[in-house]
């Protein structure tokens, strides 16, 4: 007689360390094998898009810090660029270079935590994470120099940035750029050929390129599947067209490829930072913008290549001091929509690793 197990439903979250925030996965299991899975969103929904329509354009900047709080300056950047496009504001060249520098530092900091927490999900406890946290702290020190904050950095302003960099910033940044390659090589020695990591990630949670494109995935999720798409190259903003850098891609789109793409992107960010420091011009850091900005009637969409993918802001102006419509295109929400497809057939322990490789912050997913 053939023995059969009875499928059962397991709720992971909404409050669980492995869900990286207030997120729930409703999983149908046959033993330990995933038969079906439903991602449950909305536990952190705060109605920010509606709240933003009742505040001035400048007052809305702090809202964006609270989306992906690990890379908050990037959220600031995408928003203020949309306002600048809407109002026809020209940003000084020095401010554009400093925006690039902050964005690439944010990208490195975000990827360090993504890889570090992925190793924790794999069972490596805290050692690799603390190695990467050590270097992230150096970046956080740089952010504290310019913004006075260590998490929800609020540095971008409509027309530029809140203030020029202090004298000690560039020497500290140059030291970081010089030292960081040795640490990235150290990560590779620890992880790249680690047998446990290879067994747990190679071929696991593969995302086919066609599914990634159809699902509007972006960032390392898309590039890990072999699709060479990066907004910094495809639709350059700021002064990215002045820098030489490559777009790392994977081959099969599994957890291992997504991890390797993030490490490769750290190398490319260091290349961009080195060039940006060499080319950094003198001059003003913010255009003259009225306290109560009233963009002309119209609409604008601005997008950037955030650490997790294409982050866009759509704004509609009715000529008043507040946006008539405020809408966010969240890369992390769209990347999460394929979680069911890449999880079915794997075991419950693999689901935690697959989910971790997506790299999300629930503040941006739910808003």
Q: From the centroid of its chain, how far is CA 226?
A: 19
Output 359 or 231, whichever has higher pLDDT: 231
1 — pLDDT class (breaks 50, 70, 90): low
Residue 86: its pLDDT value, please?
94
Region 200-222: what's the mean pLDDT?
93
121 — pLDDT class (breaks 50, 70, 90): confident
On average, the pLDDT of the chain sits at 91
Residue 207: its pLDDT value, please?
94
**326 forms bridges with which residues in the sheet?**
315
Residue 366: its pLDDT value, please?
86
Q: Per-residue pLDDT for 3 more than 80?
A: no
Cα–Cα distance measured from residue 228 to residue 265, given in angstroms and rounded to the nearest whole number:
13
**21 forms bridges with which residues in the sheet?**
16
pLDDT in tens, 318-338: 999 999 999 999 999 999 999
- Cα distances (angstroms) measured from residue 5 to each of 8, 30, 33, 344, 347: 9, 6, 11, 17, 15
pLDDT in tens, 16-60: 777 777 888 899 998 889 999 999 888 888 889 999 999 999 999
pTM of the predicted protein model: 0.92
Residue 266: its pLDDT value, please?
95
Token duo for residue 20: 């990286």
Helix and strand numbers (H, E) in the chain are 15, 10
Question: Parallel, antiparallel, or unpaired for β 33-40 and 24-30?
Answer: antiparallel
Q: CA angle at residue 49 from 45 to 50, to 5 degrees? A: 100
**CB-count exposure of residue 182 (10 Å: 0-12, 13-18, 19+):** exposed
Q: Per-residue pLDDT for 313 more than 70?
A: yes
Q: What percent of the chain has pLDDT over 90?
A: 69
Output 126 or 103, whichever has higher pLDDT: 103
Q: Are 134 and 128 in contact (CB under 8 A)?
A: no
Region 241-255: what's the mean pLDDT?
93
Which runs of E-coded beta strand occur in 23-161?
24-30, 33-40, 156-157, 160-161
143 — pLDDT class (breaks 50, 70, 90): very high
Q: Per-residue pLDDT for 4 more than 80?
A: no
Q: Which domains does the chain have, with CATH numbers?
A: 8-366 (1.10.645.10)
């Amino acid at each position: 007689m053939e023995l059969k197990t009875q499928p059962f439903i397991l709720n992971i979250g909404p409050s669980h360390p492995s869900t990286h925030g207030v997120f729930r996965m409703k999983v149908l299991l046959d033993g330990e094998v995933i038969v079906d899975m439903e991602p449950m969103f909305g536990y952190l929904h705060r109605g920010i898009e509606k709240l933003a329509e009742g505040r001035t354009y400048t007052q809305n900047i702090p809202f964006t810090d609270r989306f992906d709080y690990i890379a908050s300056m990037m959220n600031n950047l995408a928003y203020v660029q949309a306002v600048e496009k809407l109002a026809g504001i020209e940003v000084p060249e020095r401010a554009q270079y400093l925006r690039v520098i902050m964005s690439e530092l944010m990208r490195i900091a975000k990827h360090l935590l993504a890889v570090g927490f992925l190793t924790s999900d794999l069972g490596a406890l805290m050692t690799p994470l603390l190695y990467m946290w050590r270097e992230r702290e150096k970046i956080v020190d740089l952010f504290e120099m310019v913004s006075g904050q260590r998490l929800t950095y609020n540095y971008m302003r409509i027309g530029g940035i809140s203030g020029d960099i202090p004298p000690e910033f560039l020497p500290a940044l140059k030291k970081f750029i010089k030292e960081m390659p040795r640490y990235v090589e150290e990560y590779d020695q620890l992880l790249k050929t680690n047998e446990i990591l290879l067994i747990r990630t190679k071929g696991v949670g593969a995302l086919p390129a066609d599914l990634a494109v159809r699902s509007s995935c972006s960032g390392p999720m898309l590039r890990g599947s072999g699709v060479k798409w990066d907004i910094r190259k495809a639709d350059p903003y700021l002064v990215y067209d002045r820098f030489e850098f490559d777009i790392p891609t994977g081959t099969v789109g599994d957890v291992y490829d997504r991890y390797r793409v993030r490490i490769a992107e750290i190398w490319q960010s260091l290349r961009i930072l080195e060039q940006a420091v060499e080319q950094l011009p003198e001059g003003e850091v913010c255009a003259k913008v009225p306290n109560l900005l009233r963009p002309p009637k119209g609409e604008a969409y601005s997008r950037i290549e955030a650490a997790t993918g294409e982050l866009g802001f759509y704004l509609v102006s009715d000529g008043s001091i507040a946006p008539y419509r405020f809408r966010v295109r969240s890369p992390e929400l769209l990347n999460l929509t394929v979680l069911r497809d890449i999880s079915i057939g794997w075991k419950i322990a693999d689901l935690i690793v697959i989910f971790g490789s997506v790299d999300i912050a629930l503040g941006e997913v739910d808003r």
